[in-house]
C-alpha cells in the first residue's frame, strides 16, 4: 500500500510502491486486481460509504463545523462510542447494537473476534484483510502516511494505527456483510500485454528522440562565466536553464532542490513549521527565519498581520457557524459579488490590485536563516554547527562537480509555484523539500558557502572559492518563470544584480513562448508573459502549469553534455563529474536519493496516465476537498491519489504525458555504475524488476550502453 500525503505537503509517489519487490509486469497484473477492481459486492460498497463518512470526521483538520468527539481515544474507540447512535449504519437492529456495545476497547482483540464472527478461514485472513484495505486504497494510504511517514514538523494530533482502521472495517463487515466468508477473492488474470506494449512503444519512441541528441559532439570550455545558477533537478528547470544560457555568458547546474540541508523551518510569515527535505530523510536542524528590516517596518508588518489574521478569523467564524452565514451574505454578499465579477473576468488586474493593497497593509520583509545556534523564549534551539556546515558545503560542491571556475555570482535557485484555487498546489512545489518551496534551503546553503570559516575548510579540501565570489539565494516560480533574487548581498554589487535581472527577464520571455505553445496557445498572437501570469492567478484555470507532466528521464552528467540540447522539459538534470569520483561514492548518493525521488514522480505520472481514476485525481471539475487533507470525487469517494486528468491531458483526447518508465542516463564508465548497483539492493531491485531503464554514456568513447535486467551491458548501435 503506497502512502498518501496530505494536501499541505502533497508529493508524488509510486502508487504501486508496495509491489516494487516483484517485476513490473507482475505488479501491473496484481494492481489491476487490487486497485482497479470495480466488481465489488454491494455490501462492501456500503462498508466503504460508512467508512468514508467516519474517516472524514476523524481526520478532519478544520473543515467541519462540529468536531468529532473522543478523537483523543483513537479511531476505533472514538468510532465505537458513537457508532451505536448511527441508525443509518445499524438500522436499529438490536443484535447489531448489542454487538457494538459489547466490543472490547483493544482493536487487536476486535480484529480476531470479528474475523471469527464472519467465519473467515484462518488461511484466508491475509487475503481478506488485504481486500478490505485495497478497496479504499486512498484512505488506507493516508493512514499509512500518518503511521509510517509522519511529518516531523506537523505530527498527527490524534492517535492513528492500521489496527484501529482494520478493526472499524471488520466490525462494519460483521454488521453489514454477515456472509462475507462466502465471497471468493481472486487475483486478476487480465492480460496486461497491451498496457506493456503501450509503455514499451512510448519508451522506444523517447529513446529514438534522446539518443541521437546525447551522441552529438560537445565543447568543453574552461572560461569562467559571468554568473552561475544552480537549479533544482526538476524537469521544469531544464527549459529555463537553456533560456538563461542563451541570454549571456552564464552557466547552469542541477542539484536536489533542498540543497542538501535537511531542515525544519520556523517561518516568519507562517505559524505552521515545515520539514524542507525529502521524505526519505529525517530533518536534522531547526532553522528560524529572522527578519532583516528597520524597527518601524517590523512593527508595521506585525500590525498588518494582526489586522489580516483578525479579519480572516472573523470571516471564517461567521462562514462556518450555523446561522451566521445568512447574516454574512446579507452584510458582505454584494461586495463579494463585485469581487467575484472582477476576479473572474479580469483575474490579472484584480490580483495586482489585491497584492498592492496587502503590501500597503503588510510590507514585504526580507529574512535570513538562523545559521548559528539561536535560542528563543520557547527554548527551542536553532542553527547548524560549523562542522556540519562544512560537510554540507563540501557534499554540495563535490556531488555537482562544482569544485573550480567559480563565477563572481553564484545563484542558488530554490523553487515553488503559485496558482489559484488549486488544492494540489503543494505537488507543484519542490518534491525534494517535502512539498514546500525551496527558497529557505537556498538561503541556508548560500549563507553557509559565504562563511569565511567554511571557505577555509573547503580550501583544505582543494576547493578554492575566490574571495569576491558571492553565493546568493533565489527562488524560481515554476508557474511563471519569475526568479526572485533575495536581497542578501552587498550593496556594491546591486548594479550587477540589476543587469542579471534584466537577462533573467529575457529568459523568462523566451521560455514563456515555449510554455505557451505547449499549452495550446498561439505565442505569435498574445503577450506571452501576461498570458502565462494570468494562468497563475485565474481561479478558473485547470492548467496553471504542466508541473512534472512529460517527465521521461534523469540525466546525471556535467552541463557540457546537455548544454546545446533541447530536451523539451522532459528531463531531470543532475550535475555530476565522474572525473572526481573514481570509487562511485558520489554517484551512489545520487542514485539512492535524487533518482529514487525522480522514480516516484515518474511512476506517479505513468500510472495516472494509464488509469486516472484508480491512480490519479480524476477530473478537476468534480473534485472536492475533504477534511482539508485530501481530494474526493463528488461527496463520498475514496481519497484521490495524484495528478488530475487536466494535469496530464491537453484536452479530452490529447495526452500531454506519455507513459514511460524513468530512463536513467549516467555519464560514467560501466564498471563504476555496476559497482554502485552491486552495493545497493534497492537499485538492483529497480533494474532487475524493470521499474527503471538504465543507460550509460562512456566519457571516453561516447558510446551508449543499456543495462539489462540481469545487470549485463549491451552497446547501443
667 lies in some domain: yes
> Based on the domain organization, do 126 and 230 belong to the same domain?
no
Q: Give the end-to-end CA distance of the chain in Å, rounded to a whole number.
A: 40
Identify the pLDDT of residue 677: 98
The answer to whether residue 445 is domain-embedded is yes
Structural domain count of the chain: 4
Domain-embedded: residue 32: no
The alpha carbon dihedral of 375, 379, 385, 388 has a sign of: negative
Q: In this structure, are 282 and 402 located in the same domain?
A: yes
* Chain segment 169-185, per-residue pLDDT in tens: 999 999 999 999 988 87
Q: Which of 342, 364, 386 is the last residue of a domain?
A: 364
Question: Edge to edge, what strands does the sheet with 285-292 contain?
Answer: 274-276, 263-266, 285-292, 366-369
Same domain, 165 and 253: no
CA 632 from centre of chain:
19
Is the domain of 612 the same as that of 493?
Answer: no
Within a domain: 18: no
Residues 128 and 102 both lie in one domain: yes
Residues 265 and 388 in one domain: yes
Domain boundary among 345, 364, 383: 364
Residue 15 in any domain: the answer is: no
Q: Are 357 and 230 in the same domain? A: no
The pLDDT of residue 150: 82
Q: How far is CA 120 from CA 96, 105, 285, 403, in A?
A: 19, 22, 49, 64
Is residue 2 domain-resident? no
10 belongs to a structural domain = no
User: Domain range for residue 122?
Assistant: 37-182
Query: Which of 511, 546, 581 marks a domain boundary?
Result: 546
Of 342, 321, 465, which Cα lies nearest the Cα of 402? 465
* One domain, residues 555 and 648: yes
Same domain for 631 and 670, yes or no, is yes
Say whether both 374 and 351 belong to one domain: no
pLDDT under 50 in the chain at which residues?
Answer: none
Helices (H) and strands (E) in the chain, counts: 24, 19
pLDDT at residue number 33:
85
Q: Mark whether 632 and 650 lie in a shared domain.
A: yes
Distance between CA atoms of 673 and 576, rounded to whole angstroms? 13
Same-domain pairing of 158 and 216: no
How far apart, in whole angstroms, are the C-alpha atoms of residue 256 and residue 260? 7
pLDDT for 187 equals 67
In a domain, 536, yes or no: yes
Amino acid at each position: 500500500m503506497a502512502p498518501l500525503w496530505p494536501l499541505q505537503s502533497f508529493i508524488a509517489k509510486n502508487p504501486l510502491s508496495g509491489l516494487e519487490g516483484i517485476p513490473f509486469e507482475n505488479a501491473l497484473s496484481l494492481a489491476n486486481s487490487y486497485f482497479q477492481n470495480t466488481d465489488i459486492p454491494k455490501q462492501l460498497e456500503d462498508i466503504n460509504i460508512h467508512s468514508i463518512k467516519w474517516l472524514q470526521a476523524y481526520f478532519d483538520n478544520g473543515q467541519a463545523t462540529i468536531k468529532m468527539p473522543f478523537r483523543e481515544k483513537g479511531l476505533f474507540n472514538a468510532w465505537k462510542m458513537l457508532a451505536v447512535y448511527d441508525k443509518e449504519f445499524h438500522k436499529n437492529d438490536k443484535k447489531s447494537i448489542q454487538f457494538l456495545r459489547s466490543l472490547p476497547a483493544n482493536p487487536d482483540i476486535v480484529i480476531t473476534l470479528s474475523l471469527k464472527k464472519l467465519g473467515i478461514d484462518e488461511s484466508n485472513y491475509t487475503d481478506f484483510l488485504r481486500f478490505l484495505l485495497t478497496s479504499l486504497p486512498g484512505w488506507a494510504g493516508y493512514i499509512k502516511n500518518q503511521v509510517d511517514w509522519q511529518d516531523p514538523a506537523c505530527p498527527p494530533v490524534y492517535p492513528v494505527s492500521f489496527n484501529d482502521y482494520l478493526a472499524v472495517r471488520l466490525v462494519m463487515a460483521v454488521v453489514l456483510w454477515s456472509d462475507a466468508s462466502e465471497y471468493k477473492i481472486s487475483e486478476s488474470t487480465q492480460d496486461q500485454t497491451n498496457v506493456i506494449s503501450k509503455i514499451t512503444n512510448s519508451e522506444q519512441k523517447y529513446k529514438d528522440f534522446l539518443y541521437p541528441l546525447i551522441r552529438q559532439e560537445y565543447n568543453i570550455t574552461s572560461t569562467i562565466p559571468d554568473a552561475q545558477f544552480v537549479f533544482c533537478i526538476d524537469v521544469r528547470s531544464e527549459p529555463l536553464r537553456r533560456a538563461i544560457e542563451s541570454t549571456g555568458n552564464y552557466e547552469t547546474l542541477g542539484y536536489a532542490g533542498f540543497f542538501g540541508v535537511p531542515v525544519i523551518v520556523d517561518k516568519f510569515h507562517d505559524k505552521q513549521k515545515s520539514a524542507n527535505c525529502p521524505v526519505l530523510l529525517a530533518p536534522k536542524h531547526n532553522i528560524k527565519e529572522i527578519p532583516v528590516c528597520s524597527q518601524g517596518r517590523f512593527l508595521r508588518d506585525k500590525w498588518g498581520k494582526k489586522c489580516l489574521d483578525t479579519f480572516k478569523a472573523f470571516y471564517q467564524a461567521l462562514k462556518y457557524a450555523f446561522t451566521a452565514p445568512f447574516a454574512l451574505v446579507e452584510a458582505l454578499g454584494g461586495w463579494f459579488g463585485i469581487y467575484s465579477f472582477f476576479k473572474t473576468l479580469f483575474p490579472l488586474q484584480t490580483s495586482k490590485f489585491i497584492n498592492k493593497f496587502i503590501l500597503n497593509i503588510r510590507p514585504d520583509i526580507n529574512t535570513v536563516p538562523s545559521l548559528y545556534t539561536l535560542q528563543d523564549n520557547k527554548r527551542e534551539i536553532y542553527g547548524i554547527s560549523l562542522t556540519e556546515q562544512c560537510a554540507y558545503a563540501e557534499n554540495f560542491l563535490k556531488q555537482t562537480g562544482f569544485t573550480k571556475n567559480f563565477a563572481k555570482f553564484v545563484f542558488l535557485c530554490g523553487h515553488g509555484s503559485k496558482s489559484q484555487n488549486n488544492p494540489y498546489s503543494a505537488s507543484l512545489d519542490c518534491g525534494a523539500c517535502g512539498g514546500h518551496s525551496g527558497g529557505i534551503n537556498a538561503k541556508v546553503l548560500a549563507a553557509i558557502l559565504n562563511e569565511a570559516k567554511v571557505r577555509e575548510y573547503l580550501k583544505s579540501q582543494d576547493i578554492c572559492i575566490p574571495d569576491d565570489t558571492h553565493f546568493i539565494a533565489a527562488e524560481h516560480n515554476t508557474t511563471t518563470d519569475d526568479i526572485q533574487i533575495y536581497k542578501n548581498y552587498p550593496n556594491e554589487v546591486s548594479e550587477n544584480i540589476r543587469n542579471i535581472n534584466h537577462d533573467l527577464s529575457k529568459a523568462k520571455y523566451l521560455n514563456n513562448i515555449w510554455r505557451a505553445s505547449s499549452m495550446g496557445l498561439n505565442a505569435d498572437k498574445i503577450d506571452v508573459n501576461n498570458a502565462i501570469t494570468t494562468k497563475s492567478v485565474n481561479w478558473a484555470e485547470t492548467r496553471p502549469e504542466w508541473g512534472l507532466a512529460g517527465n521521461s528521464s534523469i540525466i546525471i552528467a556535467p552541463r557540457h553534455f546537455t548544454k546545446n540540447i533541447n530536451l523539451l522539459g522532459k528531463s531531470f538534470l543532475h550535475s555530476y563529474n565522474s572525473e572526481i569520483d573514481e570509487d562511485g561514492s558520489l554517484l551512489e548518493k545520487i542514485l539512492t536519493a535524487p533518482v529514487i525521488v525522480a522514480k516516484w514522480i515518474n511512476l506517479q505520472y505513468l500510472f495516472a496516465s494509464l488509469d486516472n481514476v484508480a491512480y490519479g485525481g480524476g477530473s478537476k471539475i468534480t473534485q472536492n476537498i475533504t477534511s482539508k487533507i485530501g481530494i474526493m470525487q463528488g461527496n463520498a469517494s475514496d481519497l484521490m491519489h495524484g495528478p488530475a486528468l487536466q494535469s496530464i491531458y491537453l484536452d479530452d483526447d490529447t495526452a500531454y504525458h506519455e507513459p514511460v518508465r524513468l530512463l536513467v542516463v549516467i555519464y560514467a564508465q560501466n564498471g563504476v555504475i555496476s559497482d554502485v548497483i552491486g552495493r545497493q539492493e534497492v537499485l538492483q531491485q529497480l533494474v532487475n524488476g524493470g521499474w527503471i531503464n538504465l543507460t550509460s554514456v562512456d566519457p571516453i568513447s561516447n558510446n551508449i550502453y543499456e543495462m539489462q535486467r540481469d545487470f549485463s551491458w549491451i552497446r547501443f548501435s
